[in-house]
Amino acid sequence: MVKGERCRPLKRWGHQYRERDEYMLMLRADDWKLARKSEVFRSLVTDHYAFPSFQHITLFGPFRTISGKVPVAVFNAIESASEQIHGLSFNLFGYLRLQGMRGQAVTHRVVPSEEFARFHHDLLHSLRTVARSGSWIDRDPSLRQFHITHAYNLRTRDADLICNAVKRCMVTIKEENVPDSPGENNAGTLPAMEKKPVVLPDYAPLTSLRVMVLKNGIIEWEFDLPAREWLNRQRVFDRDRTAVSLAQYRKLAGLELATHPGPMETPPFMLSDLHLGHNNIIRNCRRPFNNAGEMDRVLIHNWNLTVGKSDEVIYLGDFRYGSEAHPASEYRNHLNGNITFIRGNHDTDIPDAIPSLQVSYQGDNFLFIHDPIEAPPGFNGWTVHGHYHNNDLKRFPFINFGERRVNASCELTGYRPISLKTIHTMIRNYAGTGDVAVMPGPEEAVTNKSSAGTITK
């Protein structure tokens, strides 16, 4: 619990004076791709003050505590609203150009998960008796459009420059360490930028692990959701402490298994795109790991808890990658199962890998291939693939019913193999509910349709 602090009698704020401290509540949204996109935008305009110093989603404020209410009540409200929440997930879904009193803002639109929306509702309810917001949008929460701001207080001409750059950023860019992620607008490349621009699709998933409390514009405290612990400003920026948060989140969210996942699944199993030994895949695909060594340990551990010694596994490509990765044969020696390797675009040292495999299962035909674009014309069954990771969930979600595709990239399966039986059951249970963005937990996959994130078309 954080102790209450005294309000200072007089505090300078720009050219004005405030008699009491002013607070804001935000979600931390640090992300390498968002930061690179902001770098691109910053290079286009001269008003560098128009860019936020850190990436965030505003939850409430600016506000002051109601007379007689100490700031500790605000911390209690955050703890209460986040009970049983290990991380707050949301999706980026296109861009918003907003008009404010001092100029325009260019932002990413944020679509909150059901848990996020419930947390925000409960937080506002708890704050109602202890805080008074100076923002009009907090008076009617239904009007709030969650977003991550790239730039604000922009002149119209600068906003135009950035919006035009957004359109050009959606072009397909093939980077050395980034999986191909086709965009829908092919209008050329970005000017005035030596670095390669980052493709950030309209639909991209993120999870925040920290609720920030700002006092007078400065980060004062952060609430670590997985650990349920308050961190002071010094610990907020401690990389070792951030590593602890990630490890706790993986375990609580079921991404680092402690026991065999239930219910028991039967082979054959399948999975794609482990990218063992590949450090850059962590930031490119937002994997919850600190380095490749930690990632490899968890991925191999999850595999062996799921797959038995003699179980059949169909692996869909991109097994290992990078100059620091061990040979494929060395990783193979640590994995359970009889593995059939489908060749991916990075599998240069797996001599027995095959281009594709067709299987009939309970009356349905399945084609296993790394890149679904290479499926043979006229195939009318289900294509199970990898290659696209979690970089374009609008076109390549976990289950795409319209195109009859299943994206088995490990980011979408909870970083563990899944069985063909589970996939087949989900296809039948979820038909007509919209595309399934990511794989839910194994029990929910079979029994509870509402638990999976769906993309309604």
**Is residue 390 within 8 Å of 412, Cβ to Cβ?**
yes
Reported as a single tens digit per residue, the pLDDT across 391-423 is 888 899 999 999 999 999 999 999 999 999 999
**Residue 202 pLDDT:** 61
Q: What is the CA radius of gyration of the chain?
A: 24
* Number of Cβ within a 10 Å radius of residue 62: 16
Per DSSP, 2 falls in state: P
Beta strands in 294-450 (DSSP E): 312-315, 338-341, 356-361, 364-369, 382-385, 399-400, 405-407, 418-419, 435-436
**Residue 188 pLDDT:** 29
DSSP element (H, E) containing 115: helix 114-127
Q: Which among 298, 305, 294 is positioned nearest to 256, based on CA atoms?
A: 298
Q: Which among 270, 312, 268, 276 is positioned nearest to 292, based on CA atoms?
A: 276
DSSP element (H, E) containing 426: helix 420-430
Burial class (CB in 10 A: 0-12, 13-18, 19+), 431: exposed
Sheet holding 103-112, edge to edge: 147-154, 103-112, 88-100, 203-208
Reported as a single tens digit per residue, the pLDDT across 187-233 is 223 333 333 445 555 677 899 999 999 999 999 999 999 999 999 99
- Rounded to whole angstroms, the Cα distance separating 200 from 424 reads 31
**Residue 176 pLDDT:** 32
* pTM given for the model: 0.84
**Ordered structural domains, the chain, with CATH:** 11-252 (3.90.1140.10), 269-455 (3.60.21.10)
**Residue 40 pLDDT:** 83
Each residue's pLDDT expressed in tens, for the chain with a length of 457 residues: 444 444 444 444 444 445 678 999 999 998 888 888 888 888 888 877 788 888 999 999 999 999 878 889 999 999 999 999 999 999 888 888 988 888 999 999 999 999 999 999 999 999 999 999 988 888 887 888 899 999 999 999 999 998 888 877 654 333 333 333 333 332 223 333 333 445 555 677 899 999 999 999 999 999 999 999 999 999 999 999 999 999 999 999 999 999 887 767 899 999 999 999 999 999 989 999 999 999 999 999 999 999 999 999 999 999 999 999 999 999 999 999 999 999 999 999 999 999 999 999 999 999 999 999 999 998 999 999 999 999 888 899 999 999 999 999 999 999 999 999 999 999 999 988 889 988 876 444 433 443 344 443 3
Is the torsion defined by CA of 397, 243, 271, 320 positive or negative?
Answer: positive
**Residue 193 pLDDT:** 32
**Residue 53 pLDDT:** 86
